[in-house]
Amino acid sequence: MKTFPPSIFNAFNICHRQAWLMMRNLTADQDNAFLEIGRLIDETTFKRNKKRIYLADLQAILDMVTRKDNVYYIAEIKKSSKTMESGIFQLKYYLYLLKKKKGIVAKGIIKIPKEKISKKIELEKEDEAKIEDILKKMKELLNSDYPPTTLKSIRKCKMCAHYEFCWS
């Protein structure tokens, strides 16, 4: 099964067009306020126990990795619970990649520092099936020569760093 970088997998679950643009290295507006807030949260939270790992072969940056009682925990740090659903699924994709590509069975934690939320996440069999179904759809859609149509929700799109690729 072909896999994709976690950032593109996450984007696909939010907006197919954004994922298509990212696959073609069409860089988002790096001065976007929401990207800047994300970077600030990343730089200022969990400094003491943050152990960021870049897995080049998976094209993944794990926000935080810890080990307790011989169990690895992969943490995904988000700025708001508004992105909780996509964050959980992104984390499950990390767990999926680690299991399928590296043979590592780990557990996950979603952390939202501003809201003092820490939620444990596990990869279930049905999650694996859903991920594999999404990967099939991604392969078909992202290999297309033409981008998917824009979303109908301009309100949601105004926060996106790829906004100008769709609405200018």
Compute the residue count for the chain: 168
> What is the pLDDT, as a whole number, of residue 158?
61
Q: Is the pLDDT of residue 154 over 70?
A: no
> What is the pLDDT, as a whole number, of residue 112?
86
Fold of the CATH domain 6-167: Lambda Exonuclease; Chain A (3.90.320)
Residues 6+ apart with CB under 8 A from 92: 108, 121, 123, 127, 131
What are the sequence ranges of the domains in the chain?
6-167
Q: What is the mean pLDDT of residues 45-71?
A: 77
Buried b (16+ CB within 10 A) or exposed e, 115-137: eeeeeebebeeebeeebeebbee
Q: Is the pLDDT of residue 168 over 80?
A: no
Q: What is the mean pLDDT of residues 30-47?
A: 54
Q: What is the mean pLDDT of residues 33-58?
A: 61
Other beta carbons less than 10 A from residue 64's beta carbon: 18
Least confident of 21-30, 38-47, 86-95: 38-47
Q: What pTM was estimated for this model as a whole?
A: 0.79
> What is the pLDDT, as a whole number, of residue 35?
46
> In this predicted model, what pLDDT tens digit does every residue of 107-135 receive, in sequence order?
999 988 889 999 999 999 999 999 999 99
